[in-house]
Structure 1
């Protein structure tokens, strides 16, 4: 039996009129109510009936680009590159809408539901995925499968492949995936520091519930392990220490500090690393913005870069080469990857074989890293 608007209203514990207002978007509705209604629509898999169903199967001129933080240059570069391709040529233009999730798993699903209701022509999800919310990956995969079944082209850019949900047509993945080699890039970066002679290396990273955080940290620790080193306090698991605490309990490691992917977190985390290990000779940051904060903290402690402490980042954002000293980092071709994602989303480039392509991460050795003092 088909799900009705009244069923959605009962499930969301609101009136049918409120459901209509949320779906039409023509009337003001509180954010909490809107979220509750859209969740009910998603859980019941409600679709419009009658002539509206035919409209729902059509494609609009809308392209949705989901980012964690549009103020972060990492996401801004990718989103801008996607939009440069989805603008199209005369007669093929699309309206790109950037959806800022703030890293919220619930908000990500809400945006996907809204884009489904708007019959988006394409959806591009960028950056790492949330792992801390139970069942979120499966929920996203199921939502993307519904989008794909309705004719929406779905692309993941800089994000790991999703599980293939049972409802996916023919067992095919619902999204084309351009995934970054975060593990390999981080491993090569730490190997570079080890080759210079560093052995007391601190690591500043992002929230523990992000795939980007986990994969880059795994690459760092793989390099240490291959060199016969074990990070003090690091266990085999991902740990359960609180973000920002970097607690050695739960396997996070004494020389790893978790925080957010911003400058202030890099500053505070570096001071904490120096407190734990005064003889620190290198700091690896999980992105270039964190690395800037690390550099500022070291200078404020009277330490020189790289004569006293080397610093390295990740992503090779535009400011990295102009930092003083120029920042050693790992280059991800963010603009090229975003542009490719945009072309796939527009159907102007084929989906990679098997639906997944790995984007290589390359070491950029610059002036911010050097042998440790005494070498």
Structure 2
């Protein structure tokens, strides 16, 4: 009876994807795991089907770039920079075709695009922006990425945290813990950047600080809110955090409505921190409509340092993420033009950009 890859996997106590990686040598696998697999190969006298391997290793000239909203400058910059590198080519040949997939922030659309890219045997996939939290969706995404990687697709996460190692284990997962290295992650320092931004306002003397954030189930929302609240806690203001936090989405309209709600909750507010620059524009509009001056009456700060931020009136204090550089790096990684960082994870540092929209409160 012919010995199959599944037979080897069962004997070694690993997934079929892990056996494939060991035999193909296309991704790092722990030494102990490699030894178990090769022992099983020898014990079962497994013979690799060269023709089948060649077919399995074949990928198309397609690279998928998943974004929440291509019209949002945050995602547009990432996608544009990545596309340039993908089109430039790699040491193995010419450029590839970058296809931008607009998910609209829908978890279902994200999974659907990953399935379609798998069917097209995509050479690479880049997922940008924060991930939707929740065990079921996180596990489903990990499984999709596992199957893509097992087929030889390079996977890069850009602007989202790495998948937890335990998402790569268990009977229902297509990857083992060792296979988590198949996914390269460029994680943004959202928590650290938000903390430095709120510390900046505290240093100026602000103590009544409102916060406008995004959807509660997004990793970016959680990390930026955590950074803001850790700074408040160190400043002895943790008790006001919940009351002066309003959730919405990442739009200008959300910033406008949330700022009016914050003023209703605390008419003496002296600063508004927005979870991104687009929200900050809405906050500024709401304040001006109420006859309040920025920053003389209320300081406003954003996050991301999108191109319009420095041209706003007044210029917007924000946290700069090097979006173009991060997108270009993701493109090089998915094309094999750059070696993955140690451990497969690199943190993209956020930089405070103090500008004219923040100043000491009037009473200081």
Instruction: Work out whether the TM-score is over 0.5.
Output: yes
Q: Separation in 1 of the partners of 2:116 and 2:57?
A: 15
- For residue 231 of structure 1, report the CA deviation from its aligned partner: 4.0
Distance in structure 2 (CA, Å) of the matches to 1:156 and 1:270:
32
1:340 aligns with 2:329: yes
- Structure-2 separation of matches of 1:341 and 1:149: 20
Runs of 4 or more above 4 Å deviation = 51-56
SS of residue paired to 2:328: helix
Q: Quick one: distance in 2 between partners of 1:354 and 1:336?
A: 20
Q: Which runs of 5+ in 1 are unaligned?
A: 3-50, 235-252
The farther-off stretch of 143-152 and 313-322 is: 143-152
Cα distance, 1:103 vs structure 2: 1.2
Deviations 1:209-256 (A, max 9, x none): 100001000000000001111142x5xxxxxxxxxxxxxxxxxx1100
Task: For structure 2, list consecutive stretches of 5 or more residues without a partner in the other structure.
Answer: 5-50
Structure 1: distance between partners of 2:265 and 2:298: 15
Whether 1:369 and 2:355 are equivalent positions in the alignment is: no
Tell me, yes or no, if structure 1 residue 100 matches structure 2 residue 102.
yes
Q: Summarize the Cα distance change of 1:55–1:256 in structure 2 as closer, same or farther, 3 Å threshold.
A: same
1:318 aligns with 2:307: yes
Aligned to 2:132: 130
112, 119, 142: which is aligned to 2:114? Answer: 112
TM-score, reference length from structure 1: 0.79
**Take 2:273 and 2:105, find their aligned partners in 1: how far apart are those partners?**
23
Post-superposition Cα deviations, 1:150-200, rounded to whole Å, max 9, x if no partner, equal: 110000000000023133367131310000000000000000000000000
* Aligned residue in 1 for 2:202: 194
- What SS does the corresponding residue of 2:149 show, helix, strand or coil? helix
Matched, 1:217 2:225: yes
**1:88 maps to 2:88:** yes
Say whether residues 1:271 and 2:260 are aligned partners.
Answer: yes
Other-structure match for 2:318: 329
Provide closer, same or farther for how the CA distance between residues 319 and 64 of structure 1 changes in structure 2, counting only shifts above 3 A: same
1:172 corresponds to 2:179: yes
Structure 1 partner of 2:159:
158
Return the TM-score normalized by structure 2.
Answer: 0.81
Structure number with higher helix proportion: 2
* Alignment check: 8 A CA contact 2:89 2:335 kept: no
Against the structure 1 CA distance between its residues 223 and 158, is the aligned structure 2 distance closer, same or farther, given a 3 Å change threshold?
A: same
Which has the higher relative contact order, 1 or 2, with Cα contacts under 8 A spaced 6 or more apart?
2
How many residues are matched? 306
Residues 312-350 of structure 1: CA deviation (Å, up to 9, x unaligned): 000000000000000000000000000000000000100
- Measured in 1, the distance between the counterparts of 2:340 and 2:77 equals 22
Matching residue of 2:71: 71
Q: 1:129 to 1:170 in 2, by over 3 A?
A: closer
